[in-house]
């Protein structure tokens, strides 16, 4: 079995004081350190959205970091969805607000 077959996708929305506090950079740093691919972006209504692909254990580590957030953030709600990975990402970046 190839390693790509073990990939899963985490798609999550993070609510609270998560914009203007370095949250996207925090997520990007954690994801890169964990070797994950995907993206993070602010959303117009004030939340942050993350899509990341990797193995489940590594994604759960990212999810734990997301619950904590950077020091100046106040995460009040995390809504994770587990999806099938399609391997479309080759790195982890910050996207424009959507």
Please list the active-site residues: 24, 42
8-30 core/surface letters (b: 16 or more CB in 10 A; e: else): bbbebbbbbebbebebbebbbeb
φ, ψ of residue 13 to 5 degrees: the values are -115, 135
List all residues 6 or more positions away from 29 whose beta carbon is below 8 Å from its beta carbon: none
Size of the chain, expressed as the number of residues it contains: 98
């Amino acid at each position: 079995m190839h390693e790509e077959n073990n990939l899963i996708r985490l798609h999550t929305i993070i609510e609270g004081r998560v914009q203007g506090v370095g949250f996207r950079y925090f997520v990007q740093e954690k994801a890169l350190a964990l070797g994950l691919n995907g993206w993070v972006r602010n959303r117009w209504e004030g939340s942050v959205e993350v899509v990341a692909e990797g193995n489940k254990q590594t994604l759960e580590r990212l999810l734990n970091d997301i619950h904590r957030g950077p020091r100046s953030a106040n995460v009040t709600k995390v809504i994770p969805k587990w999806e099938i990975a399609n391997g479309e990402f080759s790195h982890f970046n910050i996207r424009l607000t959507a």
